[in-house]
Amino acid sequence: MTVPWKSPPDLFRIGLLLCVTGAVSGQFQLEPLNSTVLQGSDAQFNATVQGNWQVMTWTVGGLLVLNFPVTGNITSSSEQFSARFCSSVDISCVEFTIHNVTRSGDASLVVCRVLGDYGSKTAHLYVQESGTVNVNGGNVTVVRHQQVEFQCVTTAWFPTPTVSWTRNGQAVSSSLYNTTSMADGDTFNSTSVLKFQAVSNAMVECRATVLSLTSPQFSSVFLVVVPKPPDWTVLIAVVVSIGGFALLVLLINGIIFCYKRREEKQPNYQDEMSRRVRTHSQISGVNAAGQRQGQENAGYVPEGQTSVAPSELTDSSFSQLNGSKVYKVADAVNTNQAENCYSGAHITVGESGVRKHRHVTIV
């Protein structure tokens, strides 16, 4: 078979392609280039080399910590650093491990270098710190439809943790809580406040996490909702109003009653005058009756006259007598009268006849 002739430029292109392929085959890869781990855990990096290589070195934070030859003993500056082949039959992959990483010394650059024409690769190591989570106050008991508030505090986290809430395992809307954070030395503290209206019993959980945590840390409390007691405010107001009105009515009636009694005990001027008139009339009637009840002394004969007819000295009629003389007739007063009165009568005998004069003295 005849091979077509190639011009010199074509041969140059083929040689350049073979050189590039060989250079590519001499490169290696480092994974991951960015690693975030939790303080106290292990950080791992894998270096995959294409082609033949002899020695690999690892540097952390600018310090050579491990020397790994393909054949021979591995040397390390500390037990914290180790390396091994990913597989016993594959020497192209090396696994480098940093044990029990700390934020102070290990959070830095990790450099892998393969001696020869391979060069070096650099990865970034980030170390995070997990703190504590606590919901203040413990379990809460509230009345239905009452607004309830929970406060969650996270302490000694790096970086600032992501705080969230759940209720009965369901995520709570971020609009119902507010979270604030502040630095405390080289760590961060956070406070999150959750508010919502209590409807039913629930388990409320506060969660805090950072990227390196496989599962968030949490603190939970129980919310107990009790029925709302009856509102006695309206009933009490009605009872107080009715009672106050009844007391007012009783007070007014009492004032009116006392006023009437006082009026009865203190009669007015007209009543007093009427009473006095009636009393005077009664006294006059008593005196008249006493005079009628008195006994006339028919045998009494005044000086200068031999005899006077008794009928001529009665109250109903007077006898006309000649002469001008005065005769005294004493009326007998009944001792059983209610008032002590003295009554007397003077009989004047003149030329015109006998005249009788009454005089009443009230004691």
CA torsion 232-238-240-243 (nearest 10°) is -140
Task: Say which CATH topology domain 25-128 has.
Answer: Immunoglobulin-like (2.60.40)
How buried is 197 (Cβ within 10 angstroms: 0-12 exposed, 13-18 middle, 19+ buried)? exposed
Paired with 208 in beta bridges are 163, 217
Q: Is the fold of 25-128 the same as that of 132-226?
A: yes
| pLDDT computed for residue 316 by the predictor | 43
Sole residue written with tokens 């007598």: 321
307-320 pLDDT, tens digit each? 444 444 444 443 34
Radius of gyration over alpha carbons of the chain, in Å?
A: 68
Residue spans of the domains in the chain: they are: 25-128, 132-226, 270-362
Paired with 37 in beta bridges are 127
188-234 pLDDT, tens digit each? 999 999 999 999 999 999 999 999 999 999 999 999 999 977 777 77
43-73 pLDDT, tens digit each? 999 999 998 899 999 999 899 999 999 988 9
Which amino acid, residue 157?
A: W
92-105 pLDDT, tens digit each? 999 999 999 988 76
Q: What are phi and psi of 125, to 5 degrees?
A: -115, 125
Catalogue the E-assigned strands of 54-108.
Answer: 55-60, 63-69, 75-76, 81-87, 90-98
CB 112 within 8 A of CB 33: no
Task: Calculate the CA 71 to chain-centre distance.
Answer: 77
Task: Say which CATH topology domain 132-226 has.
Answer: Immunoglobulin-like (2.60.40)
Consecutive H or E run containing 276: helix 269-293
The 3-class SS string of 173-223 reads CHHHEEEEEEEECCEEEEEEEEEEECCCCEEEEEEEECCCCCCCEEEEEEE
Consecutive H or E run containing 218: strand 217-226
CA atoms of 36 and 43, how far apart (whole Å)? 8
Average pLDDT, the chain: 77
CB 146 within 8 A of CB 169: no
**Percent of the chain topping pLDDT 70:** 67
Paired with 59 in beta bridges are 64, 111
- Strand 119-128 relative to strand 34-38, pairing: parallel
